[in-house]
Structure 1
Amino acid sequence: MSDDALTTWCEVREQVDWSSAANVSPAPVRPAVDGLAVWFDGPVRLRDPDRADRLLAAMALSRAAASQGEPLTPALLAGWQKLVLGVNEVRLRRSDAFAKDGRERYGLTPHTWQDFAACLHQSADPSVTLPARAARAYLDIAFFHPYPDDNARLALLVLAHVLETEGVRLDEVGPLQTIRYADAPEGALDLAALVTVLIRATQRRATTRREKAPAEPAR
């Protein structure tokens, strides 16, 4: 049997110096283009229109939760996942899970979901920079692999939720759609760096667009 990638991730997670990740301005970032909505309404819709509609509904629910300051919890994620899958009930997986054509195995122990809840709680830790918290939460979903299906899309919703709690939206999410490995601490920090780059690029493009917009006529 393959090594337990979840155990590996939990060890790597503690080794990564998340505080070394660059920070960004705390000012809200409102893009000219809603990158998450565009991703769901574009590439996802081309493959599965119904899934796109469900993801957009889950995105709206996640943003409402962020606006109310709701912390990430397994119960909150379950509500989103029901929308994503179009079902009335979802359950955390009850056995080992596999990904990457079986190359990664995510184990299950009596304390897995308690650990998962604790990791979600850390997504609001103010001692860690926003990009690092968002990246770490994304990877937590990827490697805890809480549900049998659609964990990748849930991870994207979770990353966006963490950013949204501080008023940040991205105008592009496509670069986030790459394969991540549980045993790569440098990859975890690279993801945090990528989130930082995307936030700054979004902010720059939004500012440029505002500056180029024609002035409203005086009344």
Structure 2
Amino acid sequence: MRVLRGRDPRPAVDREHTAALLADASDGTPGVRVWTPPRQVAFGRRDAREPGFGRAKRLAAERGFEPIERDVGGRAVAYPGDTLAFAHALPLVDGRGFESIPDRYERAIETVIRALRSLGAEVSTGEPPESFCPGDHSIRVAGGGKVAGIAQRVRGDAALVAGCLVVTRADASAVADATAAVYDALGVPFDPETVGSVAEANGPEDPKPVARALEDAFVDGPWGDGEPKIDRIDRSG
């Protein structure tokens, strides 16, 4: 499996690397990427249709987050610097099929939970009400705040299963602050107290071991082959 490591400090260029994973999957090569995106708020397609979208982007920029628009569905997600993003690109035309959309969600959640629990984090499925990037496919601190959300982008020959993961307590605070402003502009309910972190769940405060655990879990998991083929963008992550 192709494993893409690192990031580009330019959000638009960085996003192109993830798009390249999906293009490779269309040709039959699965791939995975786990990284810390540049400081940004990634808006979903639904956000762009809201009357407060322009104001939401301005509020993000005022807080030092570059506003970008992503292809995967879901609501806006803030990446303060140590929050992880992960993306697994899967071919759908090689005879394996990689199951249905619901099955892919279930396996992705199982994979992320397995990775986090291997690091000692106490996490479970689900999310509290009025969370960031609200959706049915989420992971939370056991009895606490949300730490991860998962979405999919599907086209005829490939699927991209992607998500975000809040690792540090500092990032959880920054996510809560930025999301409160952005969601208020978009008219989306949000409770800042619902943002959790891997560290709060008794996992590491450092995103690097979390990233490697996630990467290994996908490579060794139900969609992987156990043979990572490392391809670096740079030396930053």
Fold match, TM over 0.5? no
> Which structure features the higher share of strand residues?
2
- Specify the structure having the higher radius of gyration (Cα): 1
Q: Name the structure with the higher helix share.
A: 1
* TM-score when normalising by structure 1: 0.29
Higher relative contact order (CA 8 A, sep 6+): 1
TM-score by length of 2: 0.28
